[in-house]
Amino acid sequence: MSLVSGPGRGGMTAIPAELQLFVDKHVRYIQSLDTRKDELEYWLTEHLRLNGLYWGLTALHLLGHPDALPRQEIIGFVLSCLHGNGGFGAAPGHDAHILYTVSGVQILATLNAFDELEERVKDGRKKIGQYIADLQDPETGTFAGDEWGERDTRFLYGALNALSLMNLLHLVNVDKAVEYVQSCANFDGAYGTRPGAESHAGQVFTCVGALTIAGRLDLVDQDKLGAWLSERQLKNGGLNGRPEKKEDVCYSWWVMSSLAMLNKLHWIDGKKLTSFILQCQDPEGGGLADRPGDMVDVFHTVFGLAGLSLLKYPGLAEVDPV
């Protein structure tokens, strides 16, 4: 899946007053992404290939076209990124890293392909689970991204997410991980990448997601966090990720999924957000951009669609906020 942005831009042609979602255009846009190997950016975004594939696949599922990409080929590609140590690289020949391992597991789960994994790789699930478990720091409970040791709550969430998809949560110390997440809670009620780091909506998603998986949402000051999350909505309906920053379609997912996990989706104005997301579409070439007028890409396409799905936009499959 190519992460090349464009060619189209969101919201350039006047979108009719009767706002609509251009489902077929988006499906074709995603299908076209893998045919763009002659473009420089395709090669420069190789380090995100597996994530991109997951985003594209999820977008197609949301759009009700789960079969628009060839299943066997995807499984083949995903498994070609798997290393002997149980980790996935971003593309064949890239080092294993937790972010790609999570995407790999998510794709296999989406395609219901764990059986195929076991057929082709003996004890595949167990190996992957062990790779993830070994990245946990026994002292603090958090997770490193790879053997290099960069730490971030994104990795912690990814680890718990992938392990729970494989029913292997028992391989790690969940209580320690929960403790670490809580140490990232800030004075404003939200969460950052590390203890003390600035609150950020993307990080709130990872922390609330991790706590949801662990069944420990009781630890969250839910009203305070919900208030902070709803503060993210700007007058034009769009959401930002931090106070006094610009709106961006991807926060339709990070903010909304967090609110959904807290049962507070209605704390933002859904109508205004829906209209903002629809304005970010390229009605001709398909795809969504971060905000009207910018280039579309697969990342913003999937998170815009997932946001619409949480807003119960008609015709979209329902997404699980975790």
Partner 1 sequence: MPRFYHDDPAWSDVEPIAQDDGGPNPLAAIAYTDEYSEAMGYLRAVMANNEYSERVLSLTEHIITMNPAHYTVWLYRARALEQTDTSLADEIAWLNPTALMHLKNYQIWHHRQTIIDRLGSPDGEADFIATMLGQDSKNYHVWSYRQWLVKRFGIFDDKELAWTESMIEEDVRNNSAWNHRWFLVVGGRGGQGVSEDIVKREIEYAQTAIRKAPQNESPWNYLRGIIRHAKLPTSTVKSFILAFADLEKPDEVYSSHALDLLADIYIEENKKDKAMKVLDLLANKYDPIRAHYWNYRKGLLEETGAVG
Contacts with partner 1, residue ranges (CB under 8 A): 37-40, 43-48, 76-77, 80, 89-95, 97, 146-148, 150, 186-188, 192-200, 226-227, 230-231, 233, 235, 242-245, 264, 266-269, 272
Nearer to partner 1, 14 or 40 (CB): 40
Here the tokens at position 220 are 């969250």
Cα three-residue angle 108-114-118, rounded to 5 degrees: 130
* Minimum distance of partner 1 from residue 107's CB (angstroms): 16
In the chain, where do the E strands start and end?
288-289, 296-297
DSSP 202-258: HHHHHHHHHHHHHT-GGGS-HHHHHHHHHTTB-TTS-B-SSTT----TTHHHHHHHH
CA-CA distance, 222 to 122, in Å (whole number)? 43
**Nearest to partner 1 of 43, 170 (CB atom):** 43
**Shortest approach of partner 1 to residue 101 CB, angstroms?**
13
Q: What are the φ and ψ backbone dihedral angles of 144, each rounded to 5 degrees?
A: -85, 160
CB of 225 to partner 1, least distance (A): 12
Report the residue number, 115 or 198, with the smaller CB distance to partner 1.
198
Smallest distance, partner 1 to C-beta of residue 128, A = 19
Q: Which is nearer to partner 1, 56 or 283 (CB)?
A: 56
**Nearest residue (CB) to partner 1, 137 versus 146:** 146
Q: Is 275 exposed, middle or buried (0-12, 13-18, 19+ CB in 10 A)?
A: middle
64 vs 243, which CB is nearer to partner 1? 243
Residue 78 vs 168, nearer CB to partner 1: 78
Using CA of residue 262, residue 264, residue 265, residue 268, what is the dihedral sign? negative
Is residue 248 within 8 A of residue 10, CB to CB? The reply is no
CA pair distance 111, 128, nearest whole angstrom: 17
Nearest approach, Cβ of 21 to partner 1 (angstroms)?
23
Q: Least CB distance from residue 90 to partner 1, whole Å?
A: 8
165: its two tokens: 């998809």
Closest distance between partner 1 and the C-beta of residue 13, in Å?
28
> 148, exposed or middle or buried, with CB in 10 Å at 0-12, 13-18, 19+?
exposed
Distance CA 96, CA 81 (A): 8
| Amino acid at position 121, single letter | V
> What is the closest distance, in whole angstroms, from the C-beta atom of residue 198 to partner 1 in the complex?
4
Of 123 and 221, the one with the shorter C-beta distance to partner 1 is 221
